[in-house]
Amino acid sequence: MLVDGSMAARHGTTVARMWQARRIRPWKVETFKLSTDSSFESKLHDVAGLYVNPPAAAALCARPGDAAAG
């Protein structure tokens, strides 16, 4: 159940569109490990927030060979 005002409730359709556009189906994954880090939820919210609402002056920094470098 999504709590009103939560990030998932506000941006769930955006995430669903991104998954659909990239043919990502996380429900098809047979194994999944959730972090036991006590501050995981806070960190996840921060990282997901950057994707949903990136800063205006954002820059991507990557080293050669990083997956992000493409």
Q: Could you write out the three-class secondary structure of the chain?
A: CCCCCCHHHHHHHHHHHHHHHCCCCHHHCCCCCCCCCCCHHHHHHHHHHHHHCCCCCCCCCCCCCCHHHC
Query: What is the predicted pLDDT for the residue at 9?
Result: 58
Q: Indicate the residue type of 17.
A: R
Question: Of residues 53 and 9, which shows the higher confidence score?
Answer: 53
Query: What is the predicted pLDDT for the residue at 14?
Result: 78
Tens-digit pLDDT profile for residues 8-24: 556 667 778 888 888 88
Structural domain boundaries in the chain:
1-52
Tens-digit pLDDT profile for residues 35-46: 888 998 888 888
Query: What is the predicted pLDDT for the residue at 54?
Result: 80
